[in-house]
Amino acid sequence: MSDQKTTGSKVWFITGASRGFGRVWAEAALKRGDKVAATARKVESIAVLNEQYGDNVLTLELDVTNSAQAKEAVEKAYAHFGKLDIVLNNAGYSLVATIEEASADEVKAMYDTNIFGTVAVIQAALPLLREQGYGHILGTSSNLGHVTLPVIGYYASSKWAFEAIHESLALEVKDFNIKVTIIEPGAYATEFGSQESLKFSAGMDIYTDFKNNFFQQLQTLERGNPDATPNGLFAAVDAENPPLRLSLGSHNLAWVRGEYAKRMAEWEDWEDVAIAAQG
C-alpha cells in the first residue's frame, strides 16, 4: 500500500469553489503550487481560475445534489490529473428559519446539498482513493457541529449529521490509508451570509421580534479573516497524522468547552434516573 507523501505538489478536488472558503482555499492551494479540480454549480463563476493558473487547475460544473454529475466530476478530475490527494467537500448553505417556520421541502433541499451532496462526492471518490492506496477526505463543517443557535437550528442539525458521518467514515476507511478531517470554522467574514448562501423561510409574525434580536446579536460577533485560514488547512493536509477535527478561529474552543460542561453537569444531575432506567 502506498504512503501518502506529506510534501510536494498535491491534487485537490474542491466543491463549492466559487466563493467563500472554497474559493479562498482553492486559490491558496494553487498559489502554493498544488493542482486543483475546482467545481461550482455555474462553471463560469470559476472560469477566471483557468486564466490565472493555467494547467494547474481544472474547472468543472457540479451541482452536488446530482449524484451522477458528482461521480462524473470526480472521475474526470482523477483522469485529468492522474491522482486525487485531497477531496474537500465545501458546498453548502444555511436555511434561516425557526423550527416551526421551515417547511419539510425546505429542510430536505438543504440536506440534499449539505449532507446527501457531500455523501455523493465521498462515495464517488472512495473507489479511486482505495485504488491509488491513499487519500485525505476533508469536509467543511462548522463550530455549529457541536453547539447550536436559534433561527439556524436546521443548518446546525445538518452539521451535527455531517460530523457523525465523517467520524464514522474515518473509522471505516482507516485501514485503506485514507484519512478524514472535519474542518470547523467559527464566524468569518465570508460570503456565507450572502443571499446565495442563505435561504429564508416565510416568517411568522410571532417570531419577528425574536429573530430581529437574534440578528442584532449576530452583528456583534467578531468575524475572522478567511485569508488567514489556508495555513491551518495546509498544516492538516501536510501532517503525517492529521486531526479528525480542525477548529478554525479563536473563539470556538471556549464556546464548545462551556456548552459541553453544561451537558456533563446536566447528565450527572440526572445520572441516578439514567442508572435506574437500566433495569
Q: Identify the bridge partners of residue 199 per DSSP, sorted by sequence position.
A: 95
For the chain, how big is the Rg over CA atoms in Å? Answer: 20
Q: Catalytic annotation on 207?
A: no
Q: Catalytic annotation on 93?
A: no
The closest alpha carbon to 85, from 197, 204, 242, 218, belongs to 242
Phi, psi values for residue 52, rounded to 5°: -85, -35
Cell of 63: 451541482
Asked whether 59 and 113 are in contact (CB, 8 A), the reply is no
Phi, psi values for residue 11, rounded to 5°: -110, 125
Torsion, Cα 132 40 72 230, to 10 degrees, reads 0
The closest alpha carbon to 184, from 121, 90, 113, 119, belongs to 90
Q: Catalytic annotation on 201?
A: no
The closest alpha carbon to 185, from 237, 232, 235, 120, belongs to 232
- Which residue is catalytic, options 142, 155, 158, 188? 155
Chain centroid, CA 242 distance in Å: 16
Residue 123 CA to residue 27 CA, distance in Å, equals: 25
Residue 165 CA to residue 241 CA, distance in Å, equals: 20
Residue 109 CA to residue 33 CA, distance in Å, equals: 36
- Which residue is catalytic, options 154, 159, 188, 247? 159
- Which residue is catalytic, options 18, 94, 141, 142? 141
Catalytic residues: 141, 155, 159
